[in-house]
Amino acid sequence: MFARFLPRSPHAEIYTQIRSLLTASIESQYVRVNHDEKSMKFPQIWLRDNCCCPECFHEGTQSRIYKFKVGVRAERVSFSLSICHGGVITQNYYQVQALDDKSVQIEWNDRHTSVYNLKWLGERDFSPENRQKYIDEFYRLKHVFWGKEDFKKECKEFEFDEVMGTNEGLRKWMEALAIYGVALINNSPKEKTTARRLADRVGFIRKTHYGEEFSVMSKPDAKNYAYLSAPLPLHTDLPYYEYKPGLNLLHCFTQSESSGGQSLTADAFYVAERLKQKDPKSYEILTKVPVDWNDIGSEGGGEGFHSIYRSPMINFDADGRYNRINLSIPQRDSHFTVKLEEVIPWYEAYWKLIEILKEETTTFKLKEGQLLTFNNLRVLHGRTGYDDNETNVRHIIGVYLDWDIVYARWRVLKSGK
């Protein structure tokens, strides 16, 4: 937003005054744009590559069509603005504001002319603050870590109807998941399609070897450790997939009446952060040494599968932020394809992580109709053992979603498109 009071004076004079606040100039391989009190610097090669004209950019698909060349140089730059836009005369002052149609024009040595809207340029400013803002507020929301003590405060609760029925409800739930990695949804209908409906509200279900929906209940010939009534230690699901599902939506269809069946959860990013402070060497080992994760089985009368993925326990994205934790006792392979001398230090480092994890694990019991939704790349989950009886069989119905789908939807809602 550009807002400034200028002494009331003849039109031409006002123009000159505003003009002096807006400048664009060539500086070696860059173009400098000074606007209000802000100074922005853009590489010429980037500007030419991002020309917005119909010859270089296809509006319908919002895609670049310009074919990048080196050696293109800016020959002339100029600022254009419309004096009539946004000007308000108040007594002795001329208030100029919201000049969104201000633009920088560049004539290139390849006989092309580009026009860049100033607002568009501002959003792509290369300053560290602007880049960080884009990464933390639009690319991927900045995480807020939580330990055992903070869980109640950071695990936000939503109403099923609010998330299903309003875009604001949907957006806020997705934001809570992105920031805290966990959120509860209350008062959902006791229907087997509830978790599916929630996934469909966002986009579409992520299918795995266990189907589109999976029922977690004690099964007589269980093919997966989760399908036993024994305690299920903290883990992330499907660490043996390269494309591990990003979110887990667990609908509590029937809860056990026994004292067991309690949910366990912990923020593994926070646990990793504590390990980094307490024991940097162990932390480094867990970020570097690849572990073999595996799953062998067959489900629903299928052909059978043998999944393997090698990856450290603690992983980062391109900006150095935590983006994936792998942890699962049953699904860690006996194959450990690292150098012999790396094995014992790895176990010792893993034990250090487990010690912190025990301190930061929270326990609560899901109620029927609640959905526990969480980031499967970050939040560990498990449960205490329980006893079914003839009239009460604990039954959780789960589906997965991918972060690509969640974020794609969230950005549209955030932009108000």
Give the binding site for Zn ion (CB under 5 A): 51, 53, 55-56
d(CA 12, CA 334): 80
Residue 111 or 306 with smaller CB distance to Zn ion: 111
Amino acid at the residue 241: Y
Copy the structure tokens of residue 257: 């009446």
Least gap, CB of 107 to Zn ion (angstroms): 11
Residue 115 or 408 with smaller CB distance to Zn ion: 115
Least gap, CB of 26 to Zn ion (angstroms): 18
Least gap, CB of 115 to Zn ion (angstroms): 9
d(CA 63, CA 324): 30
Residue 47 or 271 with smaller CB distance to Zn ion: 47
Own/partner pairs, 55-58, CB within 8 angstroms, 24+ separation: 55/112, 56/112, 56/114
Least gap, CB of 55 to Zn ion (angstroms): 5
Count of CB atoms situated within 10 Å of the CB of 387: 14
d(CA 131, CA 117): 19
Least gap, CB of 168 to Zn ion (angstroms): 39
195 touches 397 (CB < 8 A) = yes
Residue 116 or 160 with smaller CB distance to Zn ion: 116
Residue 108 or 139 with smaller CB distance to Zn ion: 108
Least gap, CB of 33 to Zn ion (angstroms): 18
Residue 44 or 328 with smaller CB distance to Zn ion: 44
Residue 52 or 83 with smaller CB distance to Zn ion: 52
Least gap, CB of 43 to Zn ion (angstroms): 17
**For residue 159, which of 189, 196, 118 has the smallest C-alpha distance?**
189
d(CA 268, CA 249): 18
104 touches 116 (CB < 8 A) = yes
